[in-house]
A and B are shown apart, each in its own frame.
Chain A
Amino acid sequence: MTDTLVDYMLELNSNPEALAQHEANPEEAARAFGLDESDIQLIIDQDTAEIERRCDSSTTETKGLMISFFKS
């Protein structure tokens, strides 16, 4: 089951026109994409922390990162 908010992030990442529409009117663009009201509120509030949590994109944990070694 896919998360529509995550799909919206993918759309913004890959479609410059969608990103421009979002930047012009975030609420209208999010609604047109089909986000539900609670997710639209996240966009309106610019709730970065919650959006990152939903996208599972923590930057303080090293899991999933290709951390290199210190050895030369």
Chain B
Amino acid sequence: MNKNGTLTVVGTGIRVAGDMTINAQAQITKADIVYTLVPDKVSKQWLTRLNANTVDLTDFYGSNKSRLLTYHQMAQLLIESVTQGNNVCAAFYGHPGVFAYASHLAIRQLKTLGYRATMEPGISAEDWLFADLGIDPGKSGCLSIEATQFLFYQRTIDPYALLVLWQIGLVGDHTLSLDKTDSYQQGLNVLTDELLKFYPSDHEVIIYEAATLALFSSRIERVALTQLPNVTLTAISTLVIPPYQEAPLDKEILAKFNLTAEDINNSLAIDNK
């Protein structure tokens, strides 16, 4: 049996108000207290309208303070509120479980303590990216990864798949404490050099930033890979690298199915449908 006090983590989506699910809205409205982690005044005003008893978690951010500590403090506050018997809602922008350390940490620890703690999905920046760019990640497969992790660790590039690198405006930062995106040039140069080992210099890449207001358009800036070091980046910039070419068929595997390349091509021909 669960103890008194619950945590429900919900996402506000990227375009606040419009992106929020009906269920997320209901969870916010009925909660005893709502802890919010949203980056702008529009979102805060909307959430306060839904539930006047809101607490802004962005107060935990500090200059030159590690975000790891910040996120632990956020999670701790959520845990304390639940253990006091409150029905807590935590509203995070985007999808509350994507690039969201504090929400997962709080849920994990509360479950260990015997409390009910759940998460509702929200619309993420990646969802907007696929919609705005008209890209289906199922077509070629997709590697979606934080840019600095991609550089610092030995990862495999698949030039036949879509590559999405997040937080490109902070690429190369190991401090976890940058306040502004003004230190990415070295990281961007190194990243470009690495990508040029797998893609031609004229391969088109895209800088993407989802619009948070319907009044504005999302940023979709297409440049040749070799020009990547010259672009201006922000904290919400994402680098999208389309597949270089179609993957060749593996004839050895096809042979195990008694298939040929022609069989596959015939199946994919629209004339046969």
**Is the Cβ of A63 less than 8 Å from the Cβ of B40?**
no
**Is the Cβ of A70 less than 8 Å from the Cβ of B178?**
no
Which residues of A lie under 8 Å from residue B149 when comparing CB positions? 69-72
Chain A stretch 14-66: residues in CB contact (< 8 A) with chain B: 14, 19, 22, 48, 51, 54-57, 59-66
Residue of A57, A61, A67 ringed by the most chain B CB atoms within 10 A = A67
**Is the Cβ of B209 less than 8 Å from the Cβ of A48?**
no
Stretch at the interface among B27-35, B81-89, B166-174, B262-270: B166-174
Give the contacting residue for A63; candidates B17, B49, B58; CB below 8 A. Answer: B58
Give B32 Cβ to nearest chain A Cβ, in Å. 23
Complexed CA–CA distance, A25 and B31 (Å)? 39
Which residues of B lie under 8 Å from residue A63 when comparing CB positions? 39, 58, 61, 179
**Is the Cβ of B40 less than 8 Å from the Cβ of A10?**
no
Give the contacting residue for A68; candidates B37, B46, B99; CB below 8 A. Answer: B99
Given A13-B18, A13-B214, A72-B153, A65:B42 Cβ within 8 A: no
Give the contacting residue for A10; candidates B17, B37, B170; CB below 8 A. Answer: B17
Give B107 Cβ to nearest chain A Cβ, in Å. 15
**Does B181 reach chain A (CB closer than 8 Å)?**
yes
Interface residue total, chain B, C-beta cutoff 8 A: 50
**Is the Cβ of B40 less than 8 Å from the Cβ of A60?**
no
Which residues of B lie under 8 Å from residue A71 when comparing CB positions? 149
**Is the Cβ of A62 less than 8 Å from the Cβ of B178?**
yes
**Is the Cβ of B181 less than 8 Å from the Cβ of A55?**
no
Which residues of A lie under 8 Å from residue B174 when comparing CB positions? 70
Complexed CA–CA distance, A66 and B75 (Å)? 13
**Is the Cβ of B235 less than 8 Å from the Cβ of A66?**
no
